[in-house]
Amino acid sequence: MKKAKVAVVGLGTIGQNIHLPVLTRLNDAEVVAVCDLDKTKARVVAEKFGVSRWYVDYSAMLAEEEEVVGVDICTPTKSHRDMAVAALQAGKNVLVEKPLARSQTEANDIVETAKRKHLDLMVGMNNRFRPDAMILRSFIEDHALGKIFYAKAGWFRKLDSQSAWFAMKEQSGGGVVLDLGIVMFDLAFWMMGYPEVKEVTATNYRHSTKDVEDSSIVFMKMKNGSTLTIEASWSFESNSDFFYCDVFGTEGSGSLNPFRIVKRMHDSLVNVAPVVQESSQALFMKSYENELKHWVGSLRGVHPVLSTGEEAVYRMRIVDAIYKSAKMGKAVAIR
């Protein structure tokens, strides 16, 4: 099979330090073009990774790169809708880094365009592709933990200067909820098997930001009786960045970071998780390698995409409810 020819748009931290290094190492992909508004950056990054063509005009790239079958969008969230819609209308499959859009309305525009064009839309949720997360998910799918009735997940990370645009609502659509909260919601929700959300209760805080929230606590009730708690913060005082995801079932429980899968056997609790020797940083990079391999495989027709646009629209529906609940100070029903 031919290599999948792809273009990467947005050469900031995620595009330049993660997506391009991974994509240019894949044997079944070829990065034929990069695009960034910064002309010098576009030229230098193209030279660094051996990419033959670079652009500052996104529309020109779409018009000229007829062989490109997939566009990888790594720009700030403000531009996601317009760029994704334009790429889809140009006949390109699309991968968009999380979050898909600033609101459910914008997300819907992208998804509906993909449907009309019969093209694939994938949203970057790399934590699903962590080796430890995939192992835990397989245990849950095999009903090894029984019926899942509760999950909790959180991510605490300081906002670095290169990501300052996340704290600008017009650029990002929201604060820590759309940066870290949506990632942990997706991970835990995926672990739980996508139960339908019944009700959302949220409290947001602004300790070090003015335009958006910098901490968020969310509690969700599901229609099947299960519950989920999500914590996310840029301002929690902590010695280091930290994320976790814990899942509890009627016959056992599972945790990420540290990785454990615990079951009761002969009146004793036993950790049945396979040994994962890799460091947190190695697991982080492996998640992107697996995610981008999966995307390239979908471009080559090997398998359908995971983390679809339709799933992202539902996530954005819940995000909208989180903001509504925090603003109103009460639970919001999902109808």
pLDDT, one tens digit per residue, over 242-290 is 999 999 999 999 999 899 999 988 888 899 998 887 888 899 999 999 9
Q: At what angle are helices 309-328 and 182-192 packed, to 10 degrees? A: 120
Taking the mean position of all CA atoms in its chain, how far away is CA 197?
A: 19
Strand partners, 202: 218
Give 210's DSSP letter. Answer: S
Residues facing 124 on adjacent strands: 97
What is the per-residue pLDDT for 170?
A: 93
Which of 52, 30, 51, 38 has its CA nearest to residue 10?
38
Q: Is it the case that residue 58 has pLDDT exceeding 70?
A: yes
Gap between the Cα atoms of 93 and 109, Å rounded:
15
User: In the chain, which residues fall in CATH 3.40.50.720?
Assistant: 4-126
Q: Residue 149: what are its φ and ψ, rounded to 5°?
A: -120, -15
Is the pLDDT score of 18 beyond 90?
Answer: yes
CATH 3.30.360.10 range(s) for the chain read 128-288+314-333
Is it the case that residue 1 has pLDDT exceeding 70? no
Q: Which amino acid is at 150?
A: Y
Contact 48, 17 (CB under 8 A): no
pTM (two decimals):
0.94
Mapped onto helix, strand or coil, the DSSP state of residue 302 is coil
For 135-192, how does the pLDDT look when each residue is reduced to its tens digit (9 = 90+)? Answer: 999 999 999 999 999 999 999 999 887 788 889 999 999 999 999 999 999 999 999 9
Q: Are 320 and 103 in contact (CB under 8 A)?
A: yes
Digit-coded pLDDT (tens) for 282-297: 999 999 999 999 999 9
What's the fold here for domain 4-126?
Answer: Rossmann fold (3.40.50)
Superfamily of the domain at 128-288+314-333: Dihydrodipicolinate Reductase; domain 2 (3.30.360.10)
